[in-house]
A and B are shown apart, each in its own frame.
Chain A
Amino acid sequence: MFKKNKLKKFYSNSSKIRLDIIEILFKAQSGHSGPSLSIVEILNYLFFQKKIYKNFNNRDNFVLSKGHAVPALYSILFNLNLISKKNFQSFREIGSSLQGHPDRTKLKYIELGTGALGQGLSVSIGFALGNLMLRKNKKSFCLIGDGEIQEGQIWEAAMYAGAHKLKDLCVILDNNKMQNETHTKKTLDIMPLKKKWEAFNWKVLEIDGHSYFDIHNAFNKFYKEKKKPTIIIANTIKGKGVSFMENSAAWHSKVLSEKDYLIAKKELI
């Protein structure tokens, strides 16, 4: 179905994006590795396959509601040549436009500064409503975390989008099954995900969030959807791509030592 070359290119690009994430996290000696690594394939697909920022002034909107995963977005923007290497490496430094959590007032490619969780989806609804008023046939994407849906505002927003049948709105839920301290299941179980979102009148798709095949099919279904907002529940692995970070709650925001960094780099090259 897919050409081998295309798949190879997709996965090698994902490795490059991961490597660059590790580079800046090591340099900054802080930041969120696990939750950045779990969303790489999804961002890679949206920005390199769907090319949602190709014409930035007439773009589809993208909000990274789980703002702590911004190293992944910075790495995408760097690999799209939208930010310079020098700028990229200034991540988390004083005066940098690449803040620890995204800041739209400092970097124009950030559509919404986020960090306090639960707020991005409401703003993405505002984007979708704005597009409807402007009669722009544009999509509004919002990437949220699984732990993030413990915030009440998510459900206010979910109720609104479902009731108003915002078909151009697509939420990607990064279901890496962990949050700041430990497993979501141990903190506050969020299951059953599918039934919850279906009950709020969303079209629910469940996929392997690291599979090009699954991601491609899910987004195609979203583009064809005519009646409901879409949520893609992307089952992912926190820390994906670096063996010792995978499925580890400790690597939510642990600092990389030089030894960690060298092992991670070796695994990703």
Chain B
Amino acid sequence: MGNYLKKKALRNIFGDHLIYLGKKNKKICVVSCDLKSATKTSGFFKIFPKRSFEVGIAEANGLGVATGLALKGFIPVISSFGAFITGKFLEIRTSISYNDVPVKIIGTHGGFIGKDGATQSGTQDLSLMTSLPNFEVFQPCSPIETKKILNYIVKSKKPSYVRICRNEVGEVYDKNFKFLPGIHKELIKSKVNVIISSGPLIFNCSDAIKILKKKNIKTGLINVNSFKPFNFKLMEKLLKNKKNVLVVEDHVSQGGLSGLVYETIAKSKMSKINLKSLNLDEKFSESGTPNDLEKINGFDSNNIAKTFYEKFKLAK
């Protein structure tokens, strides 16, 4: 893993990089649903007013407008809270997915977002979006990964959903990192133990692995940035000969990363793997600081480490 640099919020990285991409490609335009400052598209609106559309508190119309712009050859990026925008599922399903139109949906505020509580927290978005034909679904964990995913989606002819969490994070990649859909990255190699995660929780997992190391439990780390396409073969290869696997995700248990890892194992012949998952089960999130929410739900590094050695009976 790379070094921790100064921590940055990925939505800021998104907003800044969108301006950079907007300067390079005049087809890129942005649709906002009254959340420009929260989703960090205000800068784009200021610099490119003619390519910026504020539809107001009307996500369904925003998605349709973006569809029309894409059909006219533009590259519309529509951003809102993941919980809100994926709630317009029928509009995404019919206008975008069924029509196979390259609209780029950015769902910010995934996972534990803070004191605004459950209604604003995207904790079912990946499940909804991975169910849609034609869609590509990604989640970055770091600034470089965010930029590389954005570079990719504005070139892709497919509709995309990118889940961006609110946490401030460091870096795990260097600038030569190449993003390709479906390529899971083994950030820390190991022989028998591994944690699989996605998004900023990668950093909690990385800290948990340091705690485990002190207990002489060597554990690897796999970062999944591409939920759709999901490369089952590659995941199978990465899990070969592994004994204890823990999946960590800030999402409900159905339709997220845990499901994809379970599916990988079911499709393969790896019957000897012990697999556990730390997720939101069937719960909504609640109000609280992101740190407190992580703690109370067991996603802090101490608890991830504890879960690992207790569930797999590794502690002496």
Q: Which residues of A contact B (CB under 8 A)?
A: 103-105, 111-116, 118-131, 133-134, 152-153, 156-157, 159-160
The distance in angstroms between the C-alpha atoms of A221 and B71, with both chains bound, is: 28
A103 neighbours in B (Cβ, 8 Å): 98
B70 neighbours in A (Cβ, 8 Å): 126
The distance in angstroms between the C-alpha atoms of A120 and B100, with both chains bound, is: 15
- Please determine whether A133 and B74 come into contact, CB atoms closer than 8 angstroms: yes
- Please determine whether B73 and A119 come into contact, CB atoms closer than 8 angstroms: no
Nearest CB in chain A: distance from B50 CB, A: 7
Chain A contact residues: over half helix, strand or loop, or mixed? Answer: helix
Contact partner of A116 (CB less than 8 A), chosen from B63, B66, B72, B94, is B94
Q: Is B65 an interface residue (CB 8 A)?
A: yes
The distance in angstroms between the C-alpha atoms of A152 and B58, with both chains bound, is: 10
Give B57-101 as 1s and 0s: 1 = Cβ < 8 Å from A's Cβ atoms: 010111111111111111010000000000000110111001110
Interface residues on B, range: 20 to 34
- Please determine whether A129 and B65 come into contact, CB atoms closer than 8 angstroms: yes
A131 neighbours in B (Cβ, 8 Å): 72
- Please determine whether A157 and B61 come into contact, CB atoms closer than 8 angstroms: yes
A-B residue pairs in contact (CB < 8 Å), sample of 24 = A105-B100, A112-B67, A112-B71, A116-B93, A118-B60, A119-B60, A121-B64, A122-B62, A125-B61, A125-B64, A126-B64, A126-B66, A126-B69, A126-B76, A127-B72, A129-B68, A131-B72, A133-B29, A134-B72, A134-B73, A152-B60, A153-B58, A156-B61, A160-B55
- Please determine whether B71 and A123 come into contact, CB atoms closer than 8 angstroms: yes
The distance in angstroms between the C-alpha atoms of A124 and B98, with both chains bound, is: 17
The distance in angstroms between the C-alpha atoms of A116 and B91, with both chains bound, is: 8
B73 neighbours in A (Cβ, 8 Å): 130, 134
Residue of A whose beta carbon sits closest to that of B97: A113
Give B19-60 as 1s and 0s: 1 = Cβ < 8 Å from A's Cβ atoms: 000000000010000000000000000000011010110101
Known A-B contacts A114-B94, A116-B90, A116-B93; A160 and B61 likewise in contact (beta carbons under 8 Å): yes
The distance in angstroms between the C-alpha atoms of A36 and B129, with both chains bound, is: 34
The distance in angstroms between the C-alpha atoms of A112 and B56, with both chains bound, is: 24
B66 neighbours in A (Cβ, 8 Å): 126
Nearest CB in chain A: distance from B27 CB, A: 9
The distance in angstroms between the C-alpha atoms of A133 and B75, with both chains bound, is: 13
Known A-B contacts A119-B64, A133-B51; A126 and B56 likewise in contact (beta carbons under 8 Å): no
The distance in angstroms between the C-alpha atoms of A123 and B72, with both chains bound, is: 10
The distance in angstroms between the C-alpha atoms of A116 and B72, with both chains bound, is: 22
Residue of A whose beta carbon sits closest to that of B66: A126
The distance in angstroms between the C-alpha atoms of A119 and B70, with both chains bound, is: 15
Nearest CB in chain B: distance from A180 CB, A: 17
- Please determine whether A115 and B94 come into contact, CB atoms closer than 8 angstroms: yes
Most chain B CB within a 10 A radius of its CB, from A128, A134, A156? A156
